[in-house]
Structure 1
Amino acid sequence: MALNLRLREEAEEALRAEAERSGRSQQELLREAVDRYLDLTPAEGPKHEWDHLITSGKVLPPRGQYRKVIPTKTLPEGQRSIDLLDREDRF
């Protein structure tokens, strides 16, 4: 079925960003969202490896859309995060 859909500006931007991030088409993402909302499971099972964690209750679904994180702290020149983790004084 063909359908015209008018999205709020925020939803349009989020859909476009998710399509770009995931490498999937906007149409594919919308189809999946409708299937999930209507509790229609595809014959091949979950599309993502984490779906079973969400349905089992081990992981909660996201509460909001993805936000780009802007780092507030930086490491000194020449120091790596692995150096902080690989210390003798850790327990």
Structure 2
Amino acid sequence: MALNLRLGPEAEAALRAEAERTGRSQQELLRAAVDQFLGIGDARAPQHEWDHLITSGKVLPPRGVYRKVVPTKTLPPGQHSSDLLDRDDRF
């Protein structure tokens, strides 16, 4: 069945990011989401290799949709974050 679907800007960005992150098509992700919502197909099959960690309670599920992080601070050239952690004046 062919279907036109209008998504809000936040859902569109999240879908695009998830498709890019996983290498799956947006269409494939939407089909899997609809199947899972309707309880059809093999709902027990993990969608990602880490799903078993979430279901076992070892890892908490994400609290929100994926957001690309934009750095707000930059270090001077030649300085690394590990340099900041190895300071002698830490408690």
Mark the CA change 1:79 to 1:23 in structure 2 (over 3 Å): closer, same or farther: same
The residue type paired with residue 56 of structure 1 is S
The alignment-based identity, stated in percent, is: 68
**Kept in 1: contact 2:19–2:26 (CA 8 A):** yes
* 1:34 counterpart SS class: helix
Structure 2 equivalent of residue 25 of structure 1: 25
Cα distance in 1 for partners of 2:70, 2:87 equals 30
Structure 1, residues 32-59: CA drift from partner, whole Å, max 9, x if none? 212332444368x423121012112232
Q: CA RMSD in A?
A: 2.8
* 1:62 counterpart SS class: coil
Mark the CA change 1:68 to 1:38 in structure 2 (over 3 Å): closer, same or farther: same
Structure 2 equivalent of residue 6 of structure 1: 5
1:1-91 alignment runs, 5 A limit:
2-10=1-9, 11-39=11-39, 40-41=41-42, 45-85=45-85, 87=86, 89=88
Structure 1 runs not aligned, ≥5 long: none
The residue type paired with residue 65 of structure 1 is V
The residue type paired with residue 41 of structure 1 is D
Cα distance in 2 for partners of 1:36, 1:52 equals 16
Higher relative contact order (CA 8 A, sep 6+): 2
* 1:20 counterpart SS class: helix
Cα distance in 2 for partners of 1:20, 1:73 equals 26
